[in-house]
Amino acid sequence: MTTADTYHIPSDRAYDREHHMWAQFDPASNDVFVGIDTLGLASLGDLAYVTLKHVGQSVKRGESLGTLEAAKMTGDLIAPISGTIVARNDATVSNPGLVNQSPYVDGWMVVIKPSDWENESAQLVSGDGLPVWVESEVKRYRSQGWID
């Protein structure tokens, strides 16, 4: 098994390089689903608690869209894009373990109506850039002690 398999990063969405949040554009609604990727989760451990901002609240790229407590620390969930929250996944709030179990499907966190998707998505990593980024992030996380 390769490191890319161990820390599965699907190629159908884009990723925040620093905070390991994913963003998946839905062309039907022009909205963006947001969650946390497996590398981000590996650095945190099992999630015990999650809070998310409410529907209707605005979020800004690089700022908090919620908070979490995991086995290794507490901290903020950082928005990968700016916009307004149009839906949130209450199942992840009442059962944070769902995020660890299914980070890309059932464990999505919020849906954001983006305010500047064109420019902000260009700052995320996606497509052909993913394999190199994943490999380098695995190395970085490992050298920094976030993952084994």
Partner 1 sequence: MDWRLITDDDVAASFGLAADEALAQRVGMNLSQPTLRLYTYHSYCALVGRFQNVDNEIRVEYCRDNGITINRRPTGGGAIIMGADQLGVALTIPGRGDDTYSNARELMGNFSEGLVRGLNQLGVEARFRRKNDIEVNGKKLVGLGVYRAPSGGLLFHASMLVDLDIALMLRVLNTPFEKLSDKEIDTVAGRITTVRRETGSRIALDKVRCVIADGFVSAFEVNLVPSDFTSEEHAEIEKLEQEKYLSEDWVYQLTAVPDSNGSAKVKTDAGLIDVSVTMAGTIIKAAFIGGDFFASENAVADLEASLRWHTSQPDKVAATIEKIFQSRKGEFNGIQPEVMIEAVTKAVARARVADSQMRADPYGCYVNPGGAYA
Interface residue with partner 1, options 2, 11, 30, 46 (CB under 8 A): 46
Does residue 3 belong to the site contacting partner 1 (CB under 8 A)?
no
Interface residue with partner 1, options 63, 116, 122, 131 (CB under 8 A): 63
Does residue 52 belong to the site contacting partner 1 (CB under 8 A)?
yes
Interface residue with partner 1, options 4, 30, 49, 116 (CB under 8 A): 49
Instruction: Annotate the chain with three-state secondary structure.
Output: CCHHHHCCCCCCCEECCCCCEEEEEECCCCEEEEEECHHHHHHHCCEEEEEECCCCCEECCCCEEEEEEECCCEEEEECCCCEEEEEECHHHHHCCHHHHHCCCCCCCCEEEEECCHHHHHCCCECHHHHHHHHHHHHHHHHHHCCCC
Q: Which residues bind partner 1 (CB under 8 A)?
A: 18, 43, 46, 48-49, 51-54, 57, 62-64, 66-67, 69, 71-76, 78, 90, 93-97, 143-146
